Chain A
Amino acid sequence: QKEVEQNSGPLSVPEGAIASLNCTYSDRGSQSFFWYRQYSGKSPELIMSIYSNGDKEDGRFTAQLNKASQYVSLLIRDSQPSDSATYLCAVQLAGGYQKVTFGTGTKLQVIP
């Protein structure tokens, strides 16, 4: 079982719709969770982090965390073509600043 699993996609959504990206993780000791966006040929950039169960909103992005079910998701409202990218989920163990595991990413395509 992979430590961090994501559907590779591509996930296609029409412009203006809500895109929902999901991630599951295997280690119950995980404490910090991150979403990164990576455009083709570019480096990953941090979108947001979440540490507690529930929702965290930042602009059009909402991260959702459910530690009991071991999943974290990212919702993108009012999706734009510029949101088309690969989205990486990353999980960090408690006290393990060196132990950050990345998923392989979900490719999102927003269709105009």
Chain B
Amino acid sequence: NAGVTQTPKFQVLKTGQSMTLQCAQDMNHNSMYWYRQDPGMGLRLIYYSASEGTTDKGEVPNGYNVSRLNKREFSLRLESAAPSQTSVYFCASLGTDRRTYGYTFGSGTRLTVV
């Protein structure tokens, strides 16, 4: 039972380069999320997808785009990376079982933009 799988785990980009972070979940969850985590700032929502075919902006969407490819997969794209996007990125999914309600997070992607 893999849960939420993120790739890559580490990445170094030069300013202006682009990349896509991949995320897949095998828990049949409808909702998926992308967060970034910076020291002293906590987890901040970038984009979310309430269900297959829908995406919406979160708190810090500028500089990012997302694609909900299917129910399992939700990708995050940086079109032109900037040093301010250096962060740890987490993908998460949310189930509806009241007993275990809460996010399941992927292992994270540590991104450095130089």
Where the two chains meet, the residues of A that have a C-beta atom closer than 8 Å to any C-beta of B are 4, 8, 32, 34, 36, 42-46, 49, 88, 90, 97-98, 100, 102-105
* CB neighbours of A98 from chain B (8 A): 31, 33, 45, 48, 50, 56, 58
Q: Are A105 and B42 in contact (CB-based, < 8 A)?
A: yes
Chain A interface, >50% SS class:
strand
Q: Are B106 and A102 in contact (CB-based, < 8 A)?
A: no
Q: How many residues of B contact A (CB 8 A)?
A: 23
Cβ contact of A49, chosen from B42, B90, B102, B107, cutoff 8 A: B102
- Given A8-B40, A102-B42, 19 more pairs with CB closer than 8 A: A36-B102, A43-B90, A43-B105, A43-B106, A43-B107, A44-B43, A44-B90, A44-B103, A44-B105, A45-B105, A46-B102, A49-B101, A90-B103, A97-B31, A98-B56, A100-B103, A102-B43, A104-B42, A105-B42
Q: Give the complex CA separation of A32 and B101 in angstroms.
A: 10
* CB neighbours of A97 from chain B (8 A): 31, 50, 94
